[in-house]
Amino acid sequence: MRLIIMGPPGAGKGTVAPGVCQATGCRHISTGDMFRSNIKNQTVLGQEAQGYIKKGQLVPDELTIRMVRQTLLEDCRGDQFLLDGFPRNVSQAEALDSFFAGEERGLDAVILLVVPDEQIIRRLSGRMVCPECGESYNINSRRPAREGICDVCGNKLIVREDDREETVKSRLEVYHSQSEPLADYYDRKGLLLKIDGSKSPEAVTQSVADALRGI
Ligand code: AMP
């Protein structure tokens, strides 16, 4: 399957994605994770992207599209993927369409997680992540067994720099102005599956699985 999962920051895309990938055999491709790994490894791409991410802005399309194109066409050979965090604006969506130009088959579905802004702000202010394995926790809803320590790999948890309140506000503004119009773009193509993302991770994962069974 060729799938996209979209929604505001903190909607639960990264939480739901592993379950979807397990059920469908898709590979999880998260552009946010790819940028964070490039920043951690101090690559040229990481250095270029860092400043934008810190401010809660989008990394320029040219860099992002090149990175995704390479991963999709070389590593996944164009198939069996769940894109998380890409596309984030209409030009990126058009670029993605162009990767498959000439093929009869395009995307299979676009999952949109809908969560109100107030809930997003509450969720992100309690989020902690493991900088090693990427596992995500929340002081309100999903605490690690040992305070501040990752259950999966035992590393110390951190607060993502772009989860600070001011940056979260910028990320939400960017989402509403640039990414939300994508919902119409994909709805017009008959690909959009709208899911209530305000429920528990288990309930949201189940709703996504049910919706995918119908396509
Ligand atoms: P995420 O983990 O998906 O919330 O992404 C974290 C940050 O990485 C975003 O706030 C952007 O600065 C950057 N980013 C991730 N995906 C994209 C994209 N498709 N286009 C531009 N910037 C992106």
Given a contact cutoff of 8 angstroms between Cβ atoms, the answer to whether 16 and 203 are in contact is no
| 96 membership: H or E segment, kind and range | helix 90-99
pLDDT for position 77: 67
Gap between the Cα atoms of 202 and 214, Å rounded: 19
pLDDT for position 76: 65
Residue numbers annotated as active site: 13, 88, 127, 160, 171
pLDDT, tens digit (0-9, with 9 covering 90-100), for 153-169: 999 999 998 999 889 99
pLDDT band at 105 (very low <50, low <70, confident <90, very high): confident
Mutate to test the pocket of ligand 1, among 15, 54, 59, 82 (most ligand atoms within 8 A of CB): 59
Residue 75 has pLDDT above 80, yes or no: no
pLDDT for position 165: 87
Q: Once rounded to an integer, what is the mean pLDDT over residues 142-147? A: 95
Report the nearest-CA residue for atom 11 of ligand 1: 58
> To the nearest whole number, what is the mean pLDDT of the chain?
93
Gap between the Cα atoms of 119 and 150, Å rounded: 24
